[in-house]
Amino acid sequence: MTIKVGVIGTGAIGREHIDRIENILSGGEVKAVTDVNQASAYKAVEDYHLDATVYPDDVALVGDPNIDAVFVTSWGPAHEQSVLLAIEAGKYVFCEKPLATTAEGCMRIVEAEQKHGKRLVQVGFMRRYDEGYVQLKEALDNNEIGDPLMIHCSHRNPGVDENYKTDMAVTETLIHEIDALHWLIHDNYESVRVDFPKKTKYSHAELQDPQVFTLKTQGGVLIKAEVFVNCKYGYDIQCEVMGEEGIAKLPEVASVVVRKESKLSSNILNDWKVRFMDAYNKELQNFLDSLVKYEEPQGPTSWDGYIAAVTADACLKAQETGEEVEIKLQDTPDFYKNETLVRN
Ligand code: NAI
């Protein structure tokens, strides 16, 4: 069975997902597109040789009876409306992060999905599909290092442009750690504090860089998460979990090790798209496959989108106030309690 996909938002990641569905993955076909910039939608049809209808807006696209699944890859503030429309029409949804820009918006989606009665929505947190994170999670779930006590992690980019401001360290960067870490250790966040070390000379007036987030979980695990987006040397994701019996670390990206001129060296990537290319592919293949196999998506849920929104809000408040801020999550509904699968 081929899943017929409609894409809302044909910008950068929308185009990448179209390319994946059409040229890399199996079991999906893009049959409809829309974008507020209609020229962009027509260009996507032309560039990827799609046999697809261009719709004027998300309402019209979601109303196409031939579409099985909707991909929401528009700007963050537009996501909630498109996801709600899709749920109302009983369509599956793959929504890029954020699920909605507010916790209340995420809750409206959670409620609509529960009312519908079965899972329809998957949120685009692709780290869960990265082979290194999958191995790390397996080590923790197999109790190889005992109970986790602390996590040290870093999210470093070589550089960002002038549009990247202090709050984006949370909404664009740390958001991926926020999702991956609670999933890794089966725990919920309780509070967050932010420290600003000495600012790098490579930053600009409206960006504190680096930043260090200290998150505490309900189970007592302490997380030190560094975001450093002008680190210069490369795109580097580190994650080390300290447990009662040992330490488990995210593997380094495979790279040839060279011994030459009294030096031992290997390469570090520069581009996040390259770093997580396999993860994006597995994420979408898993989404398409699970609709056929289980008639439900198996990846990150609307509830995970809600957790990310509440936690991100607290991180933003902690940035502004310099105080430790409580992360107030509602109890997980039974509907979302089953652990989601990640293996293809
Ligand atoms: P972009 O700006 O390149 O593309 C967004 C497109 O959506 C634009 O073409 C715009 O015209 C269109 N659009 C905006 N509002 C719309 C609406 N109401 N209906 C239809 N089209 C609309 O942005 P980009 O980089 O593609 O990001 C899109 C989303 O994907 C963002 O929410 C971003 O956070 C997320 N993203 C997630 C990543 C991940 O690692 N999971 C990586 C990059 C982006």
CA 141 to ligand 1 centroid distance, Å: 34
Is 24 in the same domain as 66? Answer: yes
Is the CB of 190 inside a 6 Å radius of any atom of ligand 1? no
CA 309 to ligand 1 centroid distance, Å: 17
| For ligand 1, atom 4: residue with the closest CA | 11
Is the CB of 283 inside a 6 Å radius of any atom of ligand 1? no
The string over 71-98, giving b where at least 16 C-beta atoms fall within 10 Å of a residue's C-beta and e elsewhere, is bbbbeeebbbbbbbbbbebebbbbbbbb
Is 300 in the same domain as 264? Answer: no
| pLDDT tens track, the chain, 344 positions | 899 999 999 999 999 999 999 999 999 999 999 999 999 999 999 999 999 999 999 999 999 999 999 999 999 999 999 999 999 999 999 999 999 999 999 999 999 999 999 999 999 999 999 999 999 999 999 999 999 999 999 999 999 999 999 999 999 999 999 999 999 999 999 999 999 999 999 999 999 999 999 999 999 999 999 999 999 999 999 999 999 999 999 999 999 999 999 999 999 999 999 999 999 999 999 999 999 999 999 999 999 999 999 999 999 999 999 999 999 999 999 999 876 655 54
Is 147 in the same domain as 264? Answer: yes
Is 141 in the same domain as 167? Answer: yes
CA 336 to ligand 1 centroid distance, Å: 26
CA 74 to ligand 1 centroid distance, Å: 4
The domain tally of the chain equals: 2
Residue 99 per-residue DSSP state: S
Is the CB of 96 inside a 6 Å radius of any atom of ligand 1? yes
Q: pTM of the full predicted structure?
A: 0.96
Contact (CB, 8 A) for 74 and 83: no
Query: What is the value of ipTM here, to two decimals?
Result: 0.99
Amino acid at 145: I
First to last CA, the chain: 17
Is 237 in the same domain as 287? Answer: no
Q: In this structure, is residue 76 part of a structural domain?
A: yes
Q: In this structure, is residue 317 part of a structural domain?
A: no
CB atoms under 10 Å from CB of 173, counted, come to 21
Is 109 in the same domain as 153? Answer: no
Query: The CATH number of the domain where 299 resides is what?
Result: 3.40.50.720
Is the CB of 124 inside a 6 Å radius of any atom of ligand 1? yes
CA distance 176 to 153: 12
Is 123 in the same domain as 195? Answer: no
Whole-number Cα distances in Å, 186 to 150, 176, 286: 13, 16, 21
Q: Which domain holds residue 205?
A: 128-271
Pocket probe mutation, ligand 1, options 40, 75, 161, 177, max atoms within 8 Å of Cβ: 75
Is 8 in the same domain as 67? Answer: yes
